[in-house]
């Protein structure tokens, strides 16, 4: 570790060097106390865990402490939430705690685009980086294939119903579903940022070439199947949820599900291995579970309930991660994931950086791929003072859940002590514990103050409570989230969305569905340009989706899209492979 200097080495170089001393997956399994048949090895350093066997064996063991990692509103560069997750795991390990982490598998979209992978950074990374970043054990590929198989079933049924009369359909043992081509609720999936595929026309050609219709693609991690993976409790639960997945409506407005299309069983077969969590490690050798995916702005954005249940039985402290800021990632952890799992967290860590708070205080625009303005690397306490309102808003959100917040000041080596003091003072005044952490630069040794603050917070009695009751009408839930979490004055529901909400409120089964908001991650509001703690705005709701399999109503705020775009200076331009050794270089 002493030979690794993150100020002079790229993350991929650190990961490659650290990988020389990795534990084997069998050593990790021994550390966790797994039995031989509870581990499915995928090579020497990655494996899957048979969670059902472990949970049955350890059923009577009490759960460990449960910690969620969230953040302030980030810059487009991100503020090191995954890095902090790994750093805290390492710090707790340095304090002699038996600890496990759960992080989300990175999407190919950001890996090959601007943001890069999500393995952490500096001396707080999950390894092996290449396996982690380039498909791992195939979970996201399985989601892509299961999702697209559902689309194949849907579009082929539309073609056959168009081409055949009822007698011919009956001969082929097909029931006419009378699918409405104007009410297709799902697009095709691909795990890249491909803006040219957002809106397309399919089925061009003869009647044998499909049904002519408008269609498009969404990024795989926004698929309902990813959400199902995040909240499913076991394979039986996943199979039932896939069957309830709504792909379209018929011409009378009735749902057409994967079960109706007789494809849910095949989708579950594709997903049957993906349900097992992946076992990896930090560069200091602590175990890390990788399961489910990112994008809390357009998806649930949580590591899986299965990974959390497993880790809480295997360790004394379990650190999980929620996407983006507390306004979206933590809010979904709080009101969706914890409701589905029945688990009660002991504390939440809010990651803050001097850089982001300067941006929220009126600093120059931060643009990925371009050098930071000197305002972000030179002392400017005034900008930090003006920006801490954003941090305070997120502290207040966590406190509304009834669990204690810990602010982690994720230290960059360009930060000034006076700037750090401003953040510490504001966080303490808002009622949070505060810790300065240098895990990026020093690994677990740099995270000891953070580890101590988290242990202390976990000893405080939690008063956990949900923000809303599921008996509330859909619009009332949306308005409550908008006012209490985003700070909006109210909501404005567009006519198309209002019609869907009225239909949902008339359906008694909607009271079983949580509310999974979709909005920008770059502002607490719906408008990415509004930094700090926006006031005096109304949240516009332009559409509402229904994920019956995952168990969500999904309101869409503003103009956010389910398929991001790839930038001109994308990461794929710097990723390559050494043809002599086969090692991948350039990942970050």
Active site residue 83: yes
324 flagged as catalytic:
yes
Domain 474-557 in this protein, CATH class: alpha beta
Query: Are 406 and 385 a contacting pair, CB within 8 Å?
Result: no
User: How buried is 36 (Cβ within 10 angstroms: 0-12 exposed, 13-18 middle, 19+ buried)?
Assistant: exposed
The CA distances from residue 231 to 81, 297, 305, 309, 318, in Å, are 21, 17, 5, 11, 17
Does the annotation mark 94 as catalytic? no
Q: What is the pLDDT of residue 323?
A: 84
**Among 51, 65, 71, 81, which one carries the catalytic annotation?**
81
**CB of 191 within 8 A of CB of 220?**
yes
Sketch the domain layout of the chain as residue ranges. 11-137+274-458, 139-257, 474-557
Q: Are 563 and 200 in contact (CB under 8 A)?
A: no
Of 40, 162, 412, 464, the catalytic one is: 412
pLDDT at 553: 94
Which member of 48, 65, 104, 157 is catalytic? 104
Tokens of 367: 């643009």
Catalytic, 412? Answer: yes
Number of H helices, E strands in the chain: 21, 25
Give the Cα separation of 523 and 56 in Å (integer): 43
Per annotation, catalytic residue among 83, 137, 144, 397: 83
For residue 75, indicate whether it is catalytic. no
Terminal-residue alpha carbon distance, the chain = 19
Nearest to 114 by CA among 447, 438, 369: 369
Cα separation, 295 vs 407, in Å, equals 22
Q: Which of 295, 324, 333, 547 is catalytic?
A: 324
Burial (CB < 10 A; 0-12, 13-18, 19+), residue 250, is middle
Separation between Cα atoms, residue 48 and residue 209, nearest integer Å: 40
Give dist(CA 184, CA 247) in Å, integer.
Answer: 6
Strands (E), 411-477: 433-437
Annotated catalytic residue within 217, 440, 537, 552: 440
115 in catalytic set? yes
Instruction: For residue 97, indicate whether it is catalytic.
Output: no
Q: Can you give the pLDDT at residue 587?
A: 83
Neighbours of 285 (CB within 10 A): 17
The strand pairing partners of 491, in sequence order, are 539
The CATH superfamily assigned to 139-257 is Domain 2, N(10)-formyltetrahydrofolate synthetase (3.30.1510.10)
Which residues are registered as beta bridge partners of 282? 126
3-class secondary-structure state, position 366: coil
For residues 152 and 188, give the distance between their C-alpha atoms in angstroms, rounded to a whole number. 9
Residue 2 has a pLDDT of: 55
Name the token pair of 16: 């490659």
How far apart are alpha carbons 281 and 296 in whole angstroms? 24
| pLDDT value, residue 125 | 95
Please indicate whether residue 296 is annotated as part of the active site.
Answer: yes
Among residues 424, 356, 429, 431, the alpha carbon closest in space to that of 397 is found at: 431
Residue 402 backbone zone (phi > 0: left; psi -120 to 50: alpha; other: beta): left
CB-side exposure of 265: number of CA atoms within 13 Å?
A: 2
pLDDT in tens, the chain (588 residues): 557 888 888 888 998 888 889 999 999 999 999 999 999 999 999 999 999 999 999 999 999 999 999 999 999 888 889 999 999 999 999 999 999 999 999 888 888 888 777 789 999 999 999 999 999 999 999 999 999 999 999 999 999 999 998 898 888 889 899 999 999 999 999 999 999 999 999 999 998 999 999 999 999 999 999 999 999 999 999 999 999 999 999 999 999 999 999 999 999 999 999 999 999 999 999 999 999 988 878 789 899 999 999 999 999 999 999 988 999 999 999 999 999 999 999 999 999 999 999 999 999 998 877 888 999 999 999 999 999 999 999 999 999 999 999 999 999 988 999 999 999 999 999 999 999 999 999 999 999 999 999 999 999 988 999 999 999 999 999 999 999 999 999 999 999 999 999 999 998 888 889 999 999 999 999 999 999 999 999 999 999 999 999 999 999 998 888 888 988 888 888 899 989 888 888 887
Active-site residue among 115, 187, 244, 519?
115
Specify whether the CB–CB gap between 587 and 111 falls below 8 A: yes
Q: How far apart are CA 321 and CA 131, in angstroms?
A: 20
Which residues in 304-368 belong to E strands, given as ranges? Answer: 317-321, 347-352
Q: What predicted TM-score, i.e. pTM, was given to this entire model?
A: 0.94
Those residues whose C-beta lies under 8 Å from the C-beta of residue 118, and which sit 6 or more positions away, are: 82, 103, 104, 106, 110, 294
Q: Which of 296, 299, 356, 427 is catalytic?
A: 296
Residue range 11-137+274-458, CATH number: 3.40.50.300
């Amino acid at each position: 570790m002493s030979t690794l200097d993150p100020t002079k080495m790229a993350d991929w170089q650190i990961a490659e060097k650290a990988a020389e001393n990795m534990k084997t997956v069998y050593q990790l399994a021994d550390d966790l106390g797994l039995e031989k048949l509870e581990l499915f090895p995928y090579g020497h350093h990655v494996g899957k865990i048979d969670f059902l066997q472990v949970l049955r064996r350890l059923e009577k063991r009490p759960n460990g402490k449960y910690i969620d990692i969230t953040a302030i509103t980030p810059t487009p560069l991100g503020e090191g939430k995954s890095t902090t997750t790994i750093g805290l795991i390492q710090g707790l390990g340095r304090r002699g705690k038996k600890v496990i982490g759960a992080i989300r598998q990175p999407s190919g979209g950001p890996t090959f685009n601007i943001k890069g992978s999500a393995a952490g950074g500096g001396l707080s990374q999950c390894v092996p980086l290449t396996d982690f970043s380039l498909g791992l054990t195939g979970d996201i590929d399985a989601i892509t294939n299961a999702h697209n198989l559902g689309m194949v079933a849907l579009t082929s049924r539309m073609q056959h119903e168009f081409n055949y009369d009822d007698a011919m359909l009956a001969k082929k043992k097909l029931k006419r579903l009378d699918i409405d081509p104007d009410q297709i609720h799902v697009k095709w999936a691909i795990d890249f940022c491909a803006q040219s595929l957002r809106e397309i026309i399919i089925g061009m050609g003869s009647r044998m070439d499909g049904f002519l219709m408008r269609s498009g693609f969404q990024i795989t991690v926004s698929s309902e199947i990813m959400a199902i993976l995040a909240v499913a409790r076991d394979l039986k639960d996943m199979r039932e949820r896939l069957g309830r997945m709504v792909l379209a409506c018929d011409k009378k407005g009735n749902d057409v599900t994967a079960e109706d299309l007789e494809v849910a069983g095949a989708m579950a077969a594709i997903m049957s291995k993906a349900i097992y969590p992946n076992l990896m490690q930090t560069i200091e050798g602590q175990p890390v579970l990788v399961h489910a995916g990112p994008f809390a702005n357009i998806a649930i954005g949580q590591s899986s309930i299965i990974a959390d249940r497993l880790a809480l039985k295997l360790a004394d402290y379990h650190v999980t991660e929620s996407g983006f800021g507390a306004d979206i990632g933590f809010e979904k952890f709080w009101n969706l994931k914890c409701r589905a799992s029945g688990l009660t967290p002991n504390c939440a860590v809010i990651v803050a950086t001097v850089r982001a708070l300067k941006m929220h205080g009126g600093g120059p625009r931060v643009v990925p791929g371009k050098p930071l303005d000197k305002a972000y690397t030179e002392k400017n306490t005034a900008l930090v003072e003006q920006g801490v309102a954003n941090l305070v808003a997120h502290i207040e959100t966590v406190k509304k859940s009834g669990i204690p917040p810990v602010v982690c000041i994720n230290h960059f080596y360009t930060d000034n002590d006076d700037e750090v003091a401003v953040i510490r003072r504001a966080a303490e005044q808002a009622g949070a514990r505060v810790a300065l952490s240098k895990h990026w630069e020093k690994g677990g040794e740099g995270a000891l103050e953070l580890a101590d603050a988290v242990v202390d917070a976990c000893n405080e009695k939690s008063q956990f409570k949900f923000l809303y009751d599921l008996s509330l009408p859909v619009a009332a839930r949306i308005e409550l989230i908008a006012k209490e979490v985003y700070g909006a004055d109210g909501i404005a529901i567009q006519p198309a969305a209002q019609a869907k909400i009225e239909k949902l409120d008339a359906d008694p089964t909607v009271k079983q569905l949580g509310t999974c908001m979709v909005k920008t991650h770059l502002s607490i509001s719906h408008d990415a340009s509004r930094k700090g703690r926006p006031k005096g705005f109304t949240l516009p709701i332009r559409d509402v989706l229904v994920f019956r399999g995952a168990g969500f109503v999904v309101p869409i705020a503003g103009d956010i899209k389910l398929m991001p775009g790839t930038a001109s200076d994308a990461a794929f331009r710097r990723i390559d492979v050494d043809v002599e050794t086969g090692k991948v270089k350039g990942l970050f």
